[in-house]
Amino acid sequence: MSGPDKPKVIGEEWSDERVKSFLVSPSKGDGSDYTTLLKAYQAMVAGDFERFVGFFVDAGRDLNAVNASGETILDRVGEHRKSLEYARALKNAGARKTA
């Protein structure tokens, strides 16, 4: 979040360690693989998200985990018109839609 005490940062390079830090299950929420992917999608630019997806798969996590509504992260990302690069990264790694 940006504001007077925390200026918005654009174009910041994320290290592998920072990207991998999203692999740790969140302390709030259900802690599922779906939630982990959603949080990374919401926080990262497309290039960092693509790197994250690689680390996620290497860690043996489930790209096709579903939320309470039965949607995969690819279903969710596909709802957003500016998410083509994110969807491509997911598809290239083996993610599928449920519908």
What is the radius of gyration, based on Cα positions, of the chain? 14
Is there a domain that residue 12 lies in?
no
Q: Give the C-alpha separation, 30 to 16, whole Å.
A: 25
Range of the domain at 53: 30-92
Tally of structural domains, the chain: 1
Is there a domain that residue 6 lies in?
no
- Is the pLDDT assigned to residue 5 strictly greater than 50? yes
Token pair 């994250």: residue: 52
Split at pLDDT 50, 70, 90, the class of 4 is: low
pTM, to two decimals: 0.81
Q: What is the pLDDT of residues 83-97, one digit of tens each?
A: 999 999 999 999 999
Q: Give the C-alpha separation, 1 to 43, whole Å.
A: 11
How confident is the model at residue 1, as a pLDDT? 46
Which position has the higher pLDDT, 9 or 13?
13
Q: What is the pLDDT of residues 34-52, one digit of tens each?
A: 999 999 999 999 999 999 9
CB 48 within 8 A of CB 77: no
